[in-house]
Structure 1
Amino acid sequence: MMFSAFCPTHDSTVLMTRRNVVGFDDTDDGPVLRWRCGCGHLGTLDRNGSHAPAAPVLQTIRS
């Protein structure tokens, strides 16, 4: 099994395999696949596409 999902940390679509799947739910709105990107970002994939919370904004420390 392979699928693609948008990862906010990468700011792009990432190709994933069954190893990225962390859960599966059968809801009233249809199946929902929970995934974890190789970078650690978590998200879901449902019949409406990929969903993931925004990546944290990193601040640069200036000396």
Structure 2
Amino acid sequence: MMFSAFCPTHDATVLMTKRNAIGFENTDHGTVIHWRCNCGHEGTLDRNGSHAEPTRVMHSV
């Protein structure tokens, strides 16, 4: 599985793999993928496109 999502940290669309998918959700409006970029920024991808969380960046130690 591969998908792309806009990452504000990179200020670009980033190609992601299944390792970046941290969750899936079926809603009344379709499937939603919860993703985490390699830089730590998180967001969602649904049928309307990518939605990055404005301040949600997870830093690994």
**Range class of TM-score, shorter chain:** 0.7 to 0.9
Which residues of structure 2 form unaligned runs of 5+? 57-61
Query: Which structure 1 residue ranges, 4+ long, deviate > 4 Å from structure 2?
Result: none
Offset from partner CA, 1:7-63 (integer Å, 9 cap, x none): 01101000000000000000011100000000000000000000012358xxxxxxx
Which residues of structure 1 form unaligned runs of 5+? 57-63
Percent identity for Structure 1 against Structure 2: 71
Q: What is the SS of the residue equivalent to 2:16? A: strand
Tell me the C-alpha RMSD between the 2 structures: 1.4
What TM-score does the superposition give when structure 2 sets the normalisation length?
0.86
Count of residue pairs brought into register by the alignment: 56
